[in-house]
Amino acid sequence: MGKVYVFVNQKGGVGKTTSAVNIGAYLAEEGKSVLLVDFDSQANLSSGMGIRPLKPGVYELISGSAPIDKTLRSTALATLKVIPARIDLSGAAVELIEQQDRDFFLT
Ligand SMILES: Nc1ncnc2c1ncn2[C@@H]1O[C@H](COP(=O)(O)OP(=O)(O)OP(=O)(O)O)[C@@H](O)[C@H]1O
Ligand SMILES: [Mg+2]
């Protein structure tokens, strides 16, 4: 099992996305296999990594409409992959409200 790093803070504009991209790229360059998963509907990590199209991405993954291999995107580094987000992710919190143990849905 790999390590999971989560960059989360309620305050905006404090460097969460920048830290995720740079630490992810650094670890990938060091030879680690890195998967960056964008869980922000602003999709700044996805656009910052130059990912196009953004769909299917993490929303399709958690809603069950796409398997993980369809959501993975390659980057310039063979060891760095991205699962992008899109604006539709903003609806996921509401849509998952009926889901049992929704806070642990991805674990
Ligand atoms: N270590 C740093 N030193 C200086 N500026 C930084 C640093 N990290 C990030 N920034 C700048 O701060 C701004 C906000 O960074 P970033 O978008 O990563 O924050 P965020 O926490 O992801 O924001 P949001 O809450 O909107 O998702 C950007 O302009 C970024 O270039
Ligand atoms: Mg951000």
Range of the domain at 31: 16-104
Q: Please tell me the predicted confidence (pLDDT) of residue 106.
A: 65
Position 45 in a domain: yes
Number of domains in the chain: 1
Residue 92 included in any domain:
yes
Task: Tell me whether residue 3 is in a domain.
Answer: no
Mean predicted confidence (pLDDT) in 31-47: 96
Q: Residue 11: inside a domain, yes or no?
A: no
Q: Assess whether pLDDT exceeds 90 at residue 101.
A: no
Residue of 64, 95, 70, 98 lying closest to 84 (CA atoms): 70
Q: What CATH code is carried by the domain that includes residue 65?
A: 3.40.50.300
Closest CA to 4 of 43, 29, 39, 35: 35
Residue at 48 is within a domain: yes
Residue 83 in this model has a pLDDT that exceeds 90 = yes
* Domain contains 84: yes
Which string of b and e fits 65-95 if b means at least 16 CB within 10 Å? Answer: ebeeeebbbebeeebbbbbbbbebbeebeee
Give the global pTM: 0.91
- Pocket probe for ligand 1: among 9, 14, 18, the residue whose CB has the most ligand atoms within 8 Å is 18
